[in-house]
Chains A and B, each alone.
Chain A
Amino acid sequence: MTVTSQTSGEATSGPGAILGFLDRIRVASEYLVIPLIALVATAVLFSLFLLVLGKSPVDFFDLLWRGGFGTAFSWQNTLVRASPLILTALCVAIPAQLGLVIIGGEGALVLGGFIAAIVALPFIGWAPFWLTMPVMVVGAVVAGALWIGAVGALRHYRGINETISSLLMYYIAVAIMNFFVEGPFKDLSNPNKPSTAYIGDGNRVGKIGDTEVHWGLVAGIVLAIALWILMNRTTFGFAARITGGNVRAAKAQGLAVGRLMVIACMIAGASAGLAGYFEVAAIQGKANASLAAGYGFTGILVAFLARQNAIAIVPVAILLGGIAAAGGLIQRRMGLPDATVNVLTGLMFVVLLVSETLYGRIPLFKQRGS
């Protein structure tokens, strides 16, 4: 068969190559433009909501900017909040590559933080940071990995929907922590808020330079890059993507689909567990009900906005970290309840889910000829 001009022609050389390249950028930019449209639409809808409340949207967005990104102080606040979001978003994005929707990362965070605080107990007071820290990290990571790994195992071996089971396991995780924090591990020196014992100054994770930002941010960014590489440049990631793309085909290639699912879930849980470690070691100093601050749930939003791309998670987490950071300022200055920013993030999530239906519908991004 003589291959004629049908497939060659334009895209092989000269200006055709450049046009083809630009064309590819145009098609790929869909993944940037549609989330941006969703963000703008959210802003518009939320402005309407504010107008109904009799508040000025201009003031709101001005405060949002100042509270989240306007000053060095607000940037630090934002980054502090972004670091658990990166880790919990990874807990969603990694299983998503295999087609699993895990929404219970909060459970792994809570349990990871709790276990980190517990395993630190025997070391408090005498052991150096470099002895306690690895023990706490391992405890948190293993706890998270087993927790979400169990979700993956239930899904594969017993056919239990991973979305529901991960959510239910979140409640169990919180109940387990509360049980122990209010019972066997209750620190009696702090009667007001049931907590585990303070891990001690020497076991806290330090700040980066003279900022308020702790090393959890660096850990999150490094892990995001590492997991991106894992999913895109290793045979494990490739097998995982085949499984996500078509389980039947993956099985016909003899891939151990169940094992892949469980491992991906364990990686996801480990990441959320690590977030728990940093919440304990860098922020709280102990485990208590404050661990369940909702980072695990906001992480779902981050992962979806980032289209489950591990690296895109970093900027998106910073954006949402900024919105959360501005909450206090908005509350004080505008007399709005703290939950207002939750309305904003909730609205953003709904609009984002709606915007998913736009993919492939906008003619500008459709494949076409020059």
Chain B
Amino acid sequence: MSETTPLPAVGIETVGMTKVFGSLRALEDVSVKVRPGSFHALLGENGAGKSTLVKCIMGFYQPTRGSLIVDGSEQVVRNPRDAMRLKLGMVYQHFTLVPSLTAAENLVISRPDCPNVIDWANEIAGIGAFFDKMPFKVPLRVPVSSLSAGEKQKLEILKQLYLDRRFLILDEPTSVLTPDEADEILGMLKGMTAAGELTILMITHKFREVNAYCDEVSVLRRGRFVGGGHVAETSTQSMAHMMIGDTKLRERSARLKAGDDKTVLELAALYAVDDEGLPAIESIDLKVHAGEIVGIAGVSGNGQSELVEVLSGQRELEDGRIFIRGQPFEPTRQHMDRFKVFGLPEEPLKNATAPRLSVAENMALRSFDKPPISKNGWWLSPGPMRDIARDLIERYRVKTPSPDTPIENLSGGNVQRAVLARELSGEVEVLIVANPCFGLDFASVAEIRSQIIEQRNAGAAVLLVSEDLDEILELADRVAVMSEGRITYVSPIGDTNRATIGHAMAGGH
């Protein structure tokens, strides 16, 4: 980079950005400056307004007040296309690639100037040349659906670079990645920002990533900018304090001695196939006792999500039996009620809610056919439904403008809370949990983990499927490792360690 040409990286600044939804002030007078070539972290608890801020920058929302300065001059971004012209790009928490197309095809069709007749040989040569300049690669010619989560995330980022975006917003980019994958990607991006080729604004809940990769940090709390600065000069503790103010963190609930030792949940020789009809889980045998948390560890894609789907009734059980307290269980509504089976599935917006229905309606998913919402089993009373929702919203501190807001308008963390409130507010015998802390701020993580422990202490049998080994080590009484659709290793948590579990996860045994 010579002195005369300006850096390709683009810098931005928001000035007094305010965004109001109905009666809710999601952003209030937020001024944040992101220097060109910096790696900037945006922190804040769930519902603080992080996504709203970046959506205003990208033109998905129009700010109620405030302006945006790009490379020193004020710009109006009316829609994402305007943002594209200003070389602003964004990688979403969820993948936006077309699964059935190859990486190369995904890149070419994403170009705004994509020709009507595509000269593939030429395009692929162009992409090859572009890839040669990039610090990381992905296979170009296989369908995206067969790439791993890490590769997909790399491809999402490569796509932005291919489109010549020089200011990249990453909304919780590592929540779907293993720590190793996250380190690889963030390390490479760090190199690009240091070289002045790119500016990054990253929303994250992980202090580890902020400390390891970011130069600067800005913190939002309840829609306001509450502080920030150089990461090197800011301790994790003070970042956390800026995020939640003087709020006390929920004390981690103490682990009580397990009650009776009876088997509550028993899985016997479960067999199920994936969407392509290939075996996804094979001869799964597992017992979970009352007052016990069994953690299922494993590298993503080894049958864990299929197992959860089978237990929650989203996937057909081809063979095998499920027993609860010795009686056969099928995931029907009657059985779920009789055996008090509850679940916290991963990606709650996709698995546990009807996104366009209101918060109140979503909170009633479990109870709409029982008193007091329905006294006789078929007539629905909206009054009690809303009252119950109000109570749950308050008890579980769900941030929502009103019980009638469509649940898809809530921030990611608050959707999770709403589901938690629905599933854990009654008496629980069996709890099926999958990656419950994806995308949650540290205060919510502490809260949810405490809730899970409390359910265990109250005698629930908890099956915890998690890709986060730390979570399993912290919560589980016993750990089981899943590999290629089978349980390959089971051990009480006291008799094992991270290395042994990691070895089993990698397919040893």
Contacts and interface: CB of A to CB of B under 8 A. Distances in A.
Residue from B350, B355, B357, B382 with most neighbouring chain A CB atoms (10 Å)? B357
A248 B378 contact: no
A250 B351 CA distance: 9
A369 B401 CA distance: 12
Contacts of B255: none
Contacts of B334: 254
B357 A20 contact: no
A7 B399 contact: yes
B23 A20 contact: yes
Interface stretch (B179-187, B364-372, B466-474, B488-496): B364-372
Q: Is the interface of B mostly helix, strand, loop or mixed?
A: loop
B191 to A, nearest CB: 39
Contacts of B122: none
Contacts of B333: 253-256
A245 B356 contact: yes
A10 interface: yes
B171 interface: no
B352 A252 contact: yes
B256 interface: no
A367 B399 CA distance: 17
Contacts of A249: 351-354, 365
B472 to A, nearest CB: 23
Contacts of B331: 254
A23 B378 CA distance: 33
A128 interface: no
B120 to A, nearest CB: 31
Given A242-B365, A245-B355, A369 B335 contact: no
Size class of the contact patch on chain A: 35 or more
A367 B22 contact: yes
A9 B364 CA distance: 27
B377 A235 contact: yes
Interface string B128-145: 000000000000000000
B25 A235 contact: no
B23 A252 contact: no
Contacts of B379: 233-235
Nearest to B399: A7
B222 interface: yes
B291 interface: no
Interface string A1-44: 10110110111000010001001000000000000000000000
A245 B382 CA distance: 18
A214 B170 CA distance: 63
A342 interface: no
A363 B62 contact: yes
A252 B345 contact: yes
Given A235-B379, A241-B357, A245-B356, A251 B22 contact: no
Contacts of B380: 233-235, 237-238
Contacts of A7: 23-24, 399-401
B314 interface: yes
Interface string B328-365: 00011111110000010100001111111100010011
A241 B350 CA distance: 15
A250 B355 CA distance: 12
B304 to A, nearest CB: 16
Given A246-B353, A252-B312, A369 B25 contact: yes
Contacts of B368: 235, 238-239
B490 to A, nearest CB: 26
B394 to A, nearest CB: 9
B397 A1 contact: yes
Interface string B1-30: 000000000000000000011111100000
Contacts of A235: 368-369, 374, 377-380
Q: Which of A1, A237, A239, A250 has the most chain B CB atoms inside 10 A of its CB?
A: A1
Among B364, B368, B377, the most chain A Cβ lie within 10 Å of the Cβ of B368
A259 to B, nearest CB: 11
A49 interface: no
Nearest to A3: B397
A251 B23 contact: no
B313 interface: yes
Given A6-B25, A369-B22, A242 B354 contact: yes
Given A7-B399, A20-B22, A256 B332 contact: yes
Contacts, number: 109
A10 B23 contact: yes
B36 interface: no
B303 interface: no
A368 interface: yes
Nearest to B334: A254
A184 to B, nearest CB: 42
Contact of A241 (B24, B336, B354): B354
Given A234-B378, A248-B351, A254 B23 contact: no
Given A235-B380, A242-B354, A252-B313, A16 B23 contact: yes
A73 interface: no
A237 B382 CA distance: 13
B235 interface: no
B345 A246 contact: no
A302 to B, nearest CB: 23
Contacts of A237: 380
Contacts of A254: 313, 331-337
A237 B402 CA distance: 23
A250 B361 CA distance: 13
A171 interface: no
Contacts of B397: 1, 3
Contacts of A255: 333
B247 interface: yes
A179 interface: no
Contacts of A253: 333, 336, 365-366
Contacts of A242: 354, 357, 365
Contact of A248 (B25, B350, B382): B350
Contacts of A239: 368-369
Contacts of B353: 245-246, 249
A264 to B, nearest CB: 15
A242 to B, nearest CB: 5
Most buried by B among A10, A248, A251: A248
B184 to A, nearest CB: 31
A256 B345 CA distance: 19
Given A249-B354, A251-B314, A253-B333, A369 B20 contact: yes
A143 B223 CA distance: 58
B475 to A, nearest CB: 22
Contacts of A16: 23
Contacts of B401: 7, 11
B356 to A, nearest CB: 6
Contacts of B24: 6-7
A168 to B, nearest CB: 27
A246 B419 CA distance: 14
B75 interface: no
B425 to A, nearest CB: 15
B222 A6 contact: yes
5 contacts: A4-B222, A235-B380, A253-B336, A256-B333, A369-B23
Interface of A: 1, 3-4, 6-7, 9-11, 16, 20, 23, 233-239, 241-242, 244-246, 248-256, 363, 367-369
Interface of B: 20-25, 62, 64, 222-223, 247, 312-314, 331-337, 343, 345, 350-357, 361, 364-366, 368-369, 374, 377-380, 382, 397, 399-402
Given A9-B25, A20-B23, A237-B380, 5 more contacts: A236-B378, A252-B352, A254-B313, A369-B22, A369-B25
Q: Would you list the 10 A-B pairs with minimal beta carbon distance, nearest first?
A: A245-B354, A369-B20, A254-B333, A11-B23, A235-B369, A252-B312, A246-B354, A254-B336, A251-B314, A10-B23
